[in-house]
Structure formats: structure tokens, C-alpha cells
Structure 1
Amino acid sequence: MSRAKFIPTVNALSRLSITIPKDRLREVDPIAIGSIVRSIEEHGLLTPVIVRRLPKGQFELIDGAHRMAALKLLKLDDIPVRCYEGPAAAIRLIEIDANLARADLNDLDRAIHLAARRREYLAEHPESAQGKAGAVVRWDATADIAVASFVSQTAKQTGLSERKVRRLVEVGATINKAMAARLHAAPARTTLNDLLAFAKADPDLREDAVEAFANGEVKKLAQALKPVRHRPVKDPVEQQLLALRDAWARSSKAARKRFVAMQADDLAALLDAIDDGGADPQ
């Protein structure tokens, strides 16, 4: 089993020698940078930046993107660091755990980080993963020792209950990077109940729900995941249209593809009629 190794001889680096990976879990907040700038001006850099030593004397950032941005604004170059080297999974755990230790994380951020922590934990502990490191999230502790070990260890480290760790990981596994960015940009904050409803919802409904919430069309994410109820209409064509739309929304992608293939000729004829400006076929 490999682990990250602390390198005590590397305790200061030039800021310009540290590269910042693009696939970071936490975006840099301009407001937080301003606060850090003021703190550095008054007290200096209180917490070293954490880096990973790469081959050929290169270094990449593990934790401290906000501090790096603040140092750049202050035009400061030589900075204190804590340096590690080791496999990617072990290094990634350092970044994730450093973020999880912050008090300002909301449930959305915790869910994303905990799901990432589970992936890296299983990759870092192959001796207990039983070949299931890439498996879909499943919480059968009796059948998956690695999952049970992860939940117990993460709960102790974060101070969260084991139940909340499980629930947040299930949520985080359903949110991709694009969805996370849109949810962070939404005018309202997601609640834990919103996120749990999102994790249980039909995957085909999630992207539209995120957009509706991010655009302010609904006040709660869970509202955008509820089935739409329509008032009865007298127009029979309108009734048929609503029924078709609802059936389409409830269908899986596989069912939609099969339907389109079965009705390809009819759909092509209808599209031609629309392009020609003709009346609706009866």
C-alpha cells in the first residue's frame, strides 16, 4: 500500500515554480481572496501552501489556491510550503481532506468532496476494495468492507455522522462538474433535502432541474424535480400534446431512442410538413 510521503527538506518555494492543476474540486472565490490579502498584509502567510513534488524538480499545488491567488496580487514570490510526494490517489486525499476541514463548506460542497474522497480512498486501499473501486455507489456494508471502512474513517475525521456521510456521498456521485458550477451560481442555496431529492430523481430530469433552479425559475431544487400537473384543457389536440410531453419526460433515454427509431418515417414526414408551412396532419 503506497502513501504520500512528507518531504521536510522542501519548506519554501518560488510561487512561479508551482503549477495549479485545472481539475480542482473547489473554485476560487474572489471575495475570499480579498480577505486573505488583508490577512497576509497584516500578519503574513499563516498557513503554508501544500504542494506535491513531481519528477524533474517540478511542483504542483495540492491545497492553497486562494492563498496563491492572494500572493500573486501582492506580488510576493517566496512562500512557505509543505511538500509531499507519492501516488495521485494519496495526494488527492490530502487536497480533499484539507477542504473538508474548512468550516465554510455547505452541503453541496461536502457532497462533492466526499464522493471524490470515496473514489480516491478506494483507489488508495485496493487491499480492502475487493475489486469494487470503480463500482457504482452502494452501501451494503456487509458485502463491501472498503465502503464500511471508508464511512467509519471519514465520519471520525470530519465529525459528521456515518449516516450523513453515506447520504452526502450518494448525492455527490450524481453531480458532475457542470451541474456543480450551475448550482453554485444559483440565486438560492441548495438544502440537504433538495440534494437528496436530486440524487433519487430520474437522471434524465436532473439537468433540466438544475437549469430551472440556477435560473431562478423555482425557489427549491426539489420543486423542479416534481411531476408537472396540468389543468384539464378542452382542446383534445392540446390534451394529447400534454400527454405526449409527460410520457416523453418520464421515459429513459434508451426508450426515447427506440421510439424515435420506430417512428422515424412519421417524424420525418411531420418535419417536412412543418418546413413547408402546411397544416398539421390529421
Structure 2
Amino acid sequence: MHIHWFPGHMAKAQRMIREQLTLIDVVIELLDARIPQSSANPIIAELVGSKSKVVALNKADLAEPVHTTEWVNYFRDMGFATVTLDAASGKGTKELVIKVEQEAREKIAKLTAKGIKGRAVRAMILGIPNVGKSSLINRLLGTATAKTGDKPGVTRGQQWLKVGKNLELLDTPGVLWPRMDDQEVAFKLAVTGAIKDDIYDMEKVILHLLEILNHYYSDRLCERYKLTQKQLPADTNELLSLIGSKRGCLRSGGVVDFEKVRRIILTDFRSGKLGPITLDRLKN
């Protein structure tokens, strides 16, 4: 699909992160539970280095629980404190705060031994665009302080935010890596909304999504679009046309409006109307 995107403000974000990391006790890396591997930015791992980190799998309500459990165990086996979240509802946020404070306990104890008492834990939230950083901050604060949106790149600035008495959060813009050589990763970032919809080939992305859905989740396609298993064609172009007809996405003369049906399928996937779906799966 040849998806490449790296806005200038993201290069600036990297510089900001490097400058502020010396002030941080714990890094929270927010991942998309549907694509835990694809949403793990290697640049973030490089920036964070050996600093304490908590891995938070957000949008867990949109991912298959069995695969999410496998990913939680995977990250924990790697030595990272790991939690699952649904920032939109607040589920898992209390556990996240507890994990962050636990990870910083040794650092705070050393400060206390030096006579620095009562300092709050300082944490930085890092993640790719549109993974839910602002929604998580708003949920933690209980107010819509951080600007949110369903488009990548909404958060551009940097701000310290107080959460309770013992935690201070540094919000940062979403950071994508400058080269996406793995186009399967690029596809997953595109379809989950980490990359702006107007910079990639929507037709190819939706056809690939349908290919995956038809292979792993054909029952969901049938349920959502009123189809039977016998009706499901192997050819994704035919499947797209069939869904368009079923949903009434027709122009004059009965011609399928492919742009409209592609938008419907993408919206259904992102909103969870096709049910919980995991695109990154661990190999057994």
C-alpha cells in the first residue's frame, strides 16, 4: 500500500520527549489493544531506554479478550507492568495509577532518603496518534482538560497535569516513526485511525480489511450485513459490492457507491459494531 507519513510536528515531539525524560520517574506507553505490536513505536522504546515503564493496552473493549490476555502475559514476561484499559469508560484507570505509583516507589524512596519528601510521582504518557492519550488523561482528571478528537495529531502541545495527590502526568503529542517499511503494520495503523484517512489508498486498505475479516470473522460479517456463509464470496471486490447492495449504498441505476460502503465498513470496524477484533496475534 506504500503508506508513509511523518509530519514535522512529530519530529519536534521527539526532541521534546528527549528533553523532558530526565524529569520523569515512569513512562506510560499507551498501545492499541487491537494492534499491540503494530502500535508499539520502536522510537519510543529507544527514547525510554531503561527507564521504568508501564504498558497500557487501551481500547481493550474493541479487542478480543482471549488475545488481549495473551498480550498482557507477553509484556509481563518481558518485565513490564501491564494493564488493560478502556479510557472512554474509565475501566482500568485506577489499576494504571496503582501500577505507575508502584513502579516509582524505589525512586521516591531514594528521594525521601535524600530529604526530598512529598514529591509526586512524575509520569509521561507516550503513544502513537489516536491511541487514546487525551481520553485517558480526561478520565484520570475527571474533566475535559485535554483536547480530544477522533483524528490523529489532535494533541500538539505539552502540559503537566495533576492526578490526585501523588501523580503528575506530562502529556505529549503522538509520535509515529519516520519510516514504515512493514506495510502490514502501516495497514493496521491506517485502519485503526493512527494515520490520517486522506493520505492512504482507502480502497486498498478496506479490501485488505475485508480479506482479514472474511478469513477470521466471517460470522461477524454475516451478522452485521445480513449475509449467509454461502453468500460470502472469496473475492473481496465482490464482497464489497455485496455489502454495498445489502446496505443500500446505491447510486442511480443501481450502481454501488463504493466510497460510501468503504466508509461504512471502516466506521463499523472502528466503532466496534463488527464486534471485538484483534489484528495483531501472537504466534503459538
TM-score by length of 1: 0.26
Which is bigger in relative contact order (C-alpha 8 A, separation at least 6)? 2
Q: Which has the higher helix share?
A: 1
